[in-house]
Structure 1
């Protein structure tokens, strides 16, 4: 699976004491890894340690101890959790929409102007809103991918919309493209770049010069989008 936009989503979780501070560590073995690596997982506020095959966790712990200051700094600078609640906000295509709980209304969840209305009992509000946003992401991102696929002649075998811990998109060798539903919250230009990036992988399953030339021909937003995702992506991952 090729992915320039980060990540891993399935890992074994462990609480580790690092210089007297408990942190969440997510262990992941990768057949492609050549060395032990560390990555901050913004959504789960922990550290992902990727190990090559047959490498023990002790090697990962040693790297964690060596980079403790870096780990603490990155964790301490994560955006705060942004839970959805009545009167709060959620982004759609980069534009803020107010969240309004309508306990006695019917119709589930719907959009009125720049307000998202959520009916039903308060305890189920976040779950209903989350399900609605995933459906909305599938509808909007599918349409945008179809449009760019038609223009480029690069057509995926299938589109999967998932809730990932860090990655924004990926492309499998069988032609399946995955997009994070959280892209729905990013501006349209950011969505355009991520979709173009993954479509380009249908022709070049690598990040060589030909791949980047194809990306440049598909979208003018690469550098702006990469900067935006580095700056604002962690905050999107903290929303729920």
Structure 2
């Protein structure tokens, strides 16, 4: 069972996990949310873990200092939609409206985040359904249902039954990035692996897939800094 201890001042929460497979201590600072975790061999003691963390404290704080700052969505915040920055602005409107450079929200700043998130999820579902259908038709392989989640470990997945799952945060990324993830997951309808044949199918669907794939690897974690 995992436990949490604190390191230094100001304190840093560190999650400790014992693993029967671990041969040495393994430290990780998540690039998504800044969570710090330490995996320990089964027989390692709490005292050994604390000593290890004290020795690594400067390294941990250095990584945390480089984490992108959290942006809370409220009037005045700027958030990208399909890669384009939009200013959240409160105005006299009954529904949230997506404009070229703004997202207009009704009065009530305490509800702005939830309203913007609902808009983004609806837009993400529409865009991902369209892209999935387009690539599915190209491959001649139908898919099942589409599910949206706020996943941190992956941007999409495809089950053996042909159901597709996507992170709705892909709507924040440039259009070609969302398209790449859709092409990637639809390609799994043919190859449930990452073999050369799989990547050949991805390339047949999206010949220029390498650039958006690189964008996602480089900038994808930043999409999680927006909180609603």
Equivalent pair of 1:101/1:119 in contact (CA under 8 Å): yes
Equivalent pair of 1:24/1:45 in contact (CA under 8 Å): no
Equivalent pair of 2:76/2:89 in contact (CA under 8 Å): yes
What TM-score comes out, normalization by structure 2 length?
A: 0.80
1:94 alignment partner, one of 83, 94, 97:
83
Inter-CA distance 220–40: structure 2 relative to 1 (3 Å threshold): farther
Give matches, 1:171-210, under 5 Å.
Answer: 171-210=158-197
Gaps of 5+ in 1: 1-11
**SS state at 1:96 partner:** strand
Task: Kindly provide the CA deviation profile for residues 17-42 of structure 1, in whole angstroms up to 9, marking residues without a partner as x.
Answer: 34677434567899xx9768765434
Task: Kindly provide the CA deviation profile for residues 176-213 of structure 1, in whole angstroms up to 9, marking residues without a partner as x.
Answer: 21111110011111112111111112222222222222
Query: Which residue in the other structure is 1:7 paired with?
Result: none
Inter-partner Cα distance in structure 1 for 2:77 and 2:93: 19
Equivalent pair of 1:138/1:161 in contact (CA under 8 Å): yes
**SS state at 1:202 partner:** coil
Query: Which residue in the other structure is 1:239 paired with?
Result: 226
Inter-CA distance 218–39: structure 2 relative to 1 (3 Å threshold): farther
Is the deviation greater in 158-167 or in 180-189? Answer: 158-167
**SS state at 1:151 partner:** helix
Asked which structure has the greater CA Rg, the reply is 2
Inter-CA distance 68–167: structure 2 relative to 1 (3 Å threshold): farther
Give matches, 1:53-202, under 5 Å.
Answer: 56=42, 58=44, 65=53, 71-102=60-91, 104-106=92-94, 108-202=95-189
Equivalent pair of 1:101/1:117 in contact (CA under 8 Å): yes
**SS state at 2:71 partner:** coil
CA RMSD, Structure 1 to Structure 2 (Å): 3.3
Equivalent pair of 1:134/1:181 in contact (CA under 8 Å): yes
Query: Which residue in the other structure is 1:221 paired with?
Result: 208
Inter-partner Cα distance in structure 1 for 2:147 and 2:28: 24
Equivalent pair of 1:177/1:198 in contact (CA under 8 Å): yes
Inter-partner Cα distance in structure 1 for 2:189 and 2:17: 26
Gaps of 5+ in 2: none
Equivalent pair of 2:17/2:39 in contact (CA under 8 Å): yes
